[in-house]
Amino acid sequence: MAMLIVPTGAGASASADAALDKACEMAGITRDDIIELVTTGYGRSVIKAGDKSVTEITCHARGVHFIDPSIRTIIDIGGQDSKAISLDEEGNVVNFTMNDKCAAGTGRFLDMMARTMEMDLDRMSERGINYKEDITISSMCSVFAESEVVSLIAQNKEVDDIVHGLNKAVAVKTKALVKRVNGTGPFMMTGGVSRNHGLVKTLEEKLDAPIVISEYAQLCGALGAALLACE
């Protein structure tokens, strides 16, 4: 078995082909050894190597239920969207909702804010935990939020306080998604933003519940696709 994460870049199909070739190399197999290939995610329809495509909602549900059958709500925040998915005891999708109309509340939003503050996402994920001033970012629009951050920097506000304000803004928006699907615990968070420790902590406070973070948090969709291919 092999797994890896690569940037999508400008072309999902080319990136997927490169990732597949590398994964085969890591696993010591060739493409001919693969019996069935399932694609998922935003680029699934343009990946020609796939035998069939399945939505990321279904794949995330399958992957998360395999990792931890007790999970009842999935919170997935990636680069392009954020979503909440409620599950029943068998791991079936009961309801889901997503924010995919703009960057607000997504990894892209946090990436833009990190660049504004001249830091990378890894560093940003550790900031904000030990904040002192409870700053509120009033706008979730990326353009207006960036202006707010620039203004706060000009006011010499502490970086930890600004980052906490951003984490809180994303957490509030994410909690609203969870409420929309009547989400209950146990919760699991998937997607790249699950690596942001400050945001996870803030979201736990907003939900008043712990959030499970799997070591395969960024691969739950891929895991679900692989499991579906085996069925």
Instruction: Please state the rounded mean pLDDT for residues 159-164.
Output: 94
pLDDT in tens, 30-52: 988 988 989 888 777 777 777 88
Complete DSSP assignment for 44-97: GGG-TT-SEE--HHHHHHHHHHHH-TT--EEEEE-SS-EEEEEE-TTS-EEEEE
pLDDT in tens, 58-105: 999 999 999 999 999 999 998 888 999 999 999 999 999 998 666 677
Rounded to whole angstroms, the Cα distance separating 20 from 30 reads 10
Q: Other C-beta atoms within 10 Å of 223: how many?
A: 20
Tell me, what's the pLDDT at 139? 77
According to DSSP, the β-strands at 38-39 and 52-53 are parallel
Bond preceding residue 186 cis, omega within 30 of 0: yes
Those residues with Cβ within 8 angstroms of residue 32's Cβ, 6 or more apart along the chain or in another chain: none
Q: What type of residue sits at position 29?
A: I
Cβ(79)–Cβ(192) under 8 Å?
yes
Domains and CATH numbers, the chain: 1-68+217-231 (3.30.420.40), 70-213 (3.30.420.40)
Residue 123, classed as helix, strand or coil, is helix
pTM: 0.89
Instruction: Please state the rounded mean pLDDT for residues 202-225.
Output: 95
Cβ(58)–Cβ(38) under 8 Å?
no
Rounded to whole angstroms, the Cα distance separating 48 from 59 reads 19
The pLDDT > 90 percentage for the chain reads 58
Alpha helices of the chain — where are they, by DSSP H? 12-27, 56-67, 107-116, 121-126, 142-154, 159-180, 197-207, 220-230
Tell me, what's the pLDDT at 52? 87
In DSSP terms, 147 is beta-bridged to none
Residue 128, classed as helix, strand or coil, is coil
Residue 192, classed as helix, strand or coil, is helix
**Confidence category of residue 109, pLDDT binned at 50, 70, 90:** confident
- Cα 230 to Cα 37, 61, 86, 105, 223: the distances in Å are 9, 16, 24, 34, 11
